[in-house]
Amino acid sequence: MRRLLVFQHVPHEILGTLDPLLRDHGFRIRYVNFGRHPDAVPDLDRYHGLIVLGGPMNCDQVERHRHLATEVAAIQAAVRDGKPVLGICLGSQLLARALGAPVSRHHVKEIGWYDVAPTDEGRRDPLFRHFGASERIFQWHGDTFAIPHGAVHLATSGACAHQAFRFGHNAYGLQFHLEVDEPMVHRWLEAPINRRELEELQGVIDPEAIARETPAYIPRSRELGDAVFSEFIRLFQGRHRRVVLPSR
């Protein structure tokens, strides 16, 4: 049985549609909830791959969230060992940081449904070849990453150029959320920390509009998510090949 480690930061950001897909493929999943156990130091040697989920913190808040440094070190080890690694939203930013790329506050927040397009390299990528010319995908982020040295830029949007990348054969960072279903979107809109964020934007983002749009966009999002994540799961079938990390 393949064992998968999942780094979680807040209760409402979970594997979502990825969970049944992984279990159907025979994975044994273990969550490390850093919100509850900030001093946890997981042993990656016991696992075949790593998924790092999203969260409201940013990569620079190590003094407030000391587990972020632990996560960066764990991500580096997993990537170096050639294990499949998937970073989603904050997870993609932590992956970029682990690979030596800067992560910074973006000039605009993407919250809601946005058009995301594959790059030319993305159209040739095993995961992103399932994308059409443009796909409406759910987002919730205010930070952005630079594409790490040696990585492949896979997707872009009109408001945020760096939406996804691949490093080596085994590590993917996705700024957006293909793992959501409709109930998950509504839970996020109602989560207290997210409601405060929306209130601070003073009407720039309309949560009621997001709720109205979700039924129209969620079927294709789920279809695309199943295709993309199924390709990620195929990475576990190959042998782990060690990867050289970018020099700092």
List, for residues 100-150, the tens digit of each pLDDT value: 999 999 999 999 999 999 999 999 999 999 999 999 999 999 999 999 999
**Residue 153 in domain:** yes
Name which of 48-62, 195-209, 233-247 the model is least confident about. Answer: 233-247
**pLDDT score recorded for residue 1:** 82
Q: 224 and 131 in contact (C-beta within 8 Å)?
A: yes
**Residue 207 in domain:** yes
Percent with pLDDT over 90 in the chain = 93
Name beta bridge partners: 111.
140
Give the model confidence (pLDDT) of 33-84 as tens digits: 999 999 999 999 999 999 999 999 999 998 899 999 999 999 999 999 999 9
**pLDDT score recorded for residue 79:** 97
Separation between Cα atoms, residue 113 and residue 116, nearest integer Å: 9
Gyration radius from the chain CA atoms: 17
The mean pLDDT of 230-239, rounded to a whole number, is: 91
**Residue 202 in domain:** yes
- Whether residue 248 has pLDDT greater than 80: no
**Residue 246 in domain:** no
**Residue 247 in domain:** no
The mean pLDDT of 222-234, rounded to a whole number, is: 97
Separation between Cα atoms, residue 58 and residue 141, nearest integer Å: 10
Mean pLDDT for the chain overall: 96
**pLDDT score recorded for residue 242:** 85
Percent with pLDDT over 70 in the chain = 100
- Whether residue 212 has pLDDT greater than 90: yes
**Residue 245 in domain:** no
pLDDT band at 239 (very low <50, low <70, confident <90, very high): confident
What does the DSSP 8-state code read for residue 177? Answer: B
**Residue 219 in domain:** yes
pLDDT band at 247 (very low <50, low <70, confident <90, very high): confident
**Residue 242 in domain:** no
> Total domain count for the chain?
1
Residue 26: domain span? 2-237
In this structure, what are the phi and psi dihedrals at residue 7, rounded to the nearest 5 degrees? Answer: -90, 120
Q: pTM for the full model?
A: 0.97
Q: What CATH number corresponds to the domain at position 39? A: 3.40.50.880
